[in-house]
Structure 1
């Protein structure tokens, strides 16, 4: 038994205890906010729920008055309440009744460019419909709806719409890109798509410089910056211009029983992007969006590393994700790191990827101590489980006619910009339908290190692909695949331990082993003779690379 294996088994023993979900489990503790019962009805501040009156001042006046008087509840009753940007205040619970719709205006003039962040970089963005900075004890609750009117902001790709929808977009106004494949709502939006690093604040740039393409700088709908003790509960958040929910540098956040919705074609229409935040509970919530569903981030490249704030101590449980690029996602902007994250009892139906862990060279950052168990999936468009260190900023499922080349494989020096994935523990996975069951792709200079997967049943077109990984331990993995040539492909990887692997009897090829660096592959309790061909060795792999008992 080599040194890596001894170390990894020690980590596995610790994580198994952490994932037991029995009394005494050492999960993060999340502090809850509390509010006075005093209620401030926005009608008392001359708001009108007729869907026509702009109520920005009335709603903000109610929030300010509530906060100044010690806090309480700001009530949005039944009605359609048209408004511009809303600023939250400490000790205020913004509560939307069941028949209340908080509708943000399509008038872009109501959203000035303000300093903020974009993918961890300092940036100018249009002011968010709902925002709060340096606040404590805040909430958005109720069973009503918050609608960001995102269709007014978003560009749309032709390939993501039906012919009728595309014609309706063109008829509504706006402009097309030069190749006629993307619709933009305004000329400023189109100009922004052609600008270099649009909105990014660099030396010599100010937010005034961005006015020429202001409409391109779509706001995230709810942005909370450096806030503490937050509750988002019960509300439907939908139709955001960009990301739906974006807590940044926050602590003690609870997201409970919310519905987060965007059209499936909504570019950058993520559900929640939890960035550089600590102590978070996301539970009993539903996501159906246009980009990643539940996503963990911590800044991008040098700016994220300089900030150095990992997202850590997170629980995600009892959630359902319908359409999304990924059900549960870490990355790719994870330059500040991510650790101590627990995901369990979730279902992903129709997402492009189920469990999606992505990064790329230049990010840096370490993602570690990730625990996932009891995940059910159906109709996954690409990979059920994905680890990829060559993220290319493209949709997980290629559009019709789109060609993608495999990344060039080369060994680069290890620097602070080299990302790391290590110590992932995944168990009790059931997936009925995916393109690929398990895909692992690390870097030659920084392998993915320490993956522990057990008790999985995955029905997919393709089986398992593993490239540039070290220390992968898989036990009780049943793959029902259409493509059986091969069932398992391993390239330039070391210390791979496969125990009790079940596959379709009569498969053409069980193992394809390649690469001169491949070594120490051990296969036990697996009926290799059930395949037509047991083993193919290519590209420098030898008989010493693998041992099948």
Structure 2
């Protein structure tokens, strides 16, 4: 009897110790701490609160059943690890090796950490990215295939580590062309947005829309960190920061030469630092946007307070593109100490601002400083207020809203070969204003160095 009581007492003590340990663990990890990132800029740049996962627990995906080469088990294991980590905050660890998987949905207080030598290989099967999620297509909100890595309304969320995320784009590549059925789908989506059809009713998953998902999308998130990872291939835009704030993107390496493969797209996002990154993609390296037409007017959230520094562009169309989706407005952009590879064959501009008579919105306070490039296909600075692409004939102008563009400043920018230093096509009803070029040098220009139309207050 005494022995049974002693065993019971011992068991109860272990139970209480276990409960106390769990309580201490939860207490320790009840909230993610932040590190303040202060950034200098020619405008008042708010302090960015970056999540810190140094003191939280690790959740290794192999502990949840992950096995190399088994996408079904891996997808379930990653989902379980994320569910466990989000409770108190944690690092979901992907060990070295190649791990086939389906979509990944991140949650608050979770850091997806890719160990050195780890590769997350994402399935090419569109069915693996269903059910449809609340996302976007070229500035228009809709329900579509899930981004390969997706976070919605999450706080304190990260992707870090020396490992790699890679998309198998063998099926997505078949969707690169834009046949008539696809064009009719984006036309229908545009009209739905124009008519204020609720987003929940804009389902774009069918047999003909073929709207490829973004690789990584942070949608309506706060306190975001993306650091050190390699990103290889993408169905569509590579890293999409949508309606999010307090973001640090640091040291990532992007290689994506599919169709519409921008490197990073901050859209209606604020307080963003992008630094020490390498971009090698088939479209723009950094493309800053803020919604297309009625969407930007409805959401009324500008892209604002964005700093890009110490980045290297191996290949791509523009170092920085602003627009053409900019209906919510874009302001306070600072790009400094960036370099373009000498053998970049695609580069069109260092800065290209593009809009049209339907966009509305605004662009103001854009700064480029200490930028170097070799050969440029077009010129150092391009501003065009009549860029419509396929939309020129796809839909008519429903509402005419011009875009004020003013306060564009370039300093200490150098290139060797291009057609022009600056080419500015303003609108006669709303000229581009206040452009200043200081120590902007082009060694060899094949056209007139400065070409302007409807511009006020250009200082060279």
Into which bin does the TM-score normalised by the smaller protein fall?
Answer: 0.7 to 0.9
Which of 335, 349, 355 is matched with 1:343 structurally?
A: 335
In structure 2, the residue matched to 1:261 is 255
Greater shift, 23-32 or 377-386, is seen at 23-32
In structure 1, the residue matched to 2:303 is 311
Which of 139, 148, 162 is matched with 2:158 structurally?
A: 139
How big is the shift at 1:193? 4.5
How big is the shift at 1:51? 6.3
Report the CA distance shift for 1:290/1:65 in structure 2 as closer, same or farther (over 3 A).
same
Report the CA distance shift for 1:156/1:85 in structure 2 as closer, same or farther (over 3 A).
closer
Q: Structure 1: any 5+ residue segments left out of the alignment?
A: 1-20, 158-181, 395-411, 475-549
Which of 386, 392, 407 is matched with 1:390 structurally?
A: 386
In structure 2, the residue matched to 1:368 is 364
How big is the shift at 1:194? 5.3
How big is the shift at 1:25? 8.1
1:274-313 correspondence runs (5 A) = 274-313=266-305
CA contact (8 A) 2:214 2:239 kept: yes
How big is the shift at 1:140? 0.3
Report the CA distance shift for 1:72/1:429 in structure 2 as closer, same or farther (over 3 A).
same
- Distance in 2, matches of 1:253 and 1:362, equals 30
Q: Is the aligned partner of 1:120 residue 2:142?
A: no
Alpha-carbon deviations, 1:314-338, whole Å to 9, x = none?
1110011122121111111111111
- Distance in 2, matches of 1:436 and 1:321, equals 20
Q: TM-score, normalised by structure 1?
A: 0.69
Q: Is the aligned partner of 1:95 residue 2:117?
A: no
Count of residue pairs the alignment pairs up:
403
Q: Structure 2: any 5+ residue segments left out of the alignment?
A: 1-38, 391-396
1:111-510 correspondence runs (5 A) = 111-112=129-130, 113-155=132-174, 191-193=181-183, 195=185, 197=187, 202=192, 203=197, 206=201, 210-213=205-208, 216-263=210-257, 266-349=258-341, 350=344, 351-393=347-389, 417-458=401-442, 459-462=444-447, 463-474=449-460
Of structures 1 and 2, the one with the larger relative CO (CA 8 A, separation 6+) is: 2
- Distance in 1, matches of 2:107 and 2:218, equals 11
Q: TM-score, normalised by structure 2?
A: 0.82
Q: Is the aligned partner of 1:46 residue 2:65?
A: yes
Alpha-carbon deviations, 1:146-176, whole Å to 9, x = none?
112234203588xxxxxxxxxxxxxxxxxxx
Partner SS for 1:63: helix
Report the CA distance shift for 1:341/1:74 in structure 2 as closer, same or farther (over 3 A).
same
TM-align CA RMSD: 2.5
Report the CA distance shift for 1:416/1:193 in structure 2 as closer, same or farther (over 3 A).
closer
Partner SS for 1:33: strand
How big is the shift at 1:72? 1.5
Greater shift, 146-155 or 338-347, is seen at 146-155
Report the CA distance shift for 1:233/1:201 in structure 2 as closer, same or farther (over 3 A).
farther
In structure 2, the residue matched to 1:542 is none
Report the CA distance shift for 1:28/1:426 in structure 2 as closer, same or farther (over 3 A).
farther
CA contact (8 A) 2:42 2:334 kept: no
Report the CA distance shift for 1:24/1:290 in structure 2 as closer, same or farther (over 3 A).
closer
Partner SS for 1:140: strand
CA contact (8 A) 1:151 1:239 kept: no
- Distance in 2, matches of 1:293 and 1:300, equals 20
How big is the shift at 1:382? 1.8
CA contact (8 A) 1:123 1:201 kept: no
